[in-house]
């Protein structure tokens, strides 16, 4: 879980790493995951690279589409 001193940038990068790891472990392309969660492949790519700030709604939609708790997406 994120600590109080974790920066927004670090959370973005952590989210991206965790999404990418989950996607690869499940044998999905960025395009397939993006379609499944209702976003575009370029947006998914930016999320995975930690280059796009995402709001709570997007994090929730990712977690729901991936079948994982939000805390798993933000875990170290």
If pLDDT is split at 50, 70 and 90, which confidence band does 1 have?
Answer: very low
pLDDT in tens, 37-69: 999 999 999 999 999 888 899 999 999 999 999
Question: What is the DSSP code (8-state) at residue 52?
Answer: S
Q: In whole angstroms, what is the distance from residue 65 CA to residue 61 CA?
A: 6
Q: In whole angstroms, what is the distance from residue 55 CA to residue 32 CA?
A: 21
User: The tokens of 27 are what?
Assistant: 């044998």
Indicate if the pLDDT at residue 2 is higher than 80. Answer: no
At residue 5, the pLDDT reads 58
pTM of the predicted protein model: 0.87
Q: What is the mean pLDDT of the chain?
A: 91
| In-domain check, residue 53 | yes
| In-domain check, residue 67 | yes
Domain range enclosing 42: 8-73
| In-domain check, residue 2 | no
| In-domain check, residue 3 | no
| Phi, psi (rounded to 5 degrees) for 68 | -130, 160
Number of domains present in the structure of the chain? 1
């Amino acid at each position: 879980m994120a600590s109080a001193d974790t920066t927004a940038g670090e959370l973005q990068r952590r989210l991206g790493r965790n999404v990418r790891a989950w996607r690869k472990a499940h044998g999905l392309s960025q395009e397939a995951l993006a379609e499944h969660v209702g976003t575009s492949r370029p947006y998914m790519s930016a999320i995975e690279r930690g280059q796009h700030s995402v709001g709570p709604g997007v994090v929730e939609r990712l977690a729901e589409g991936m079948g994982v708790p939000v805390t798993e997406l933000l875990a170290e």
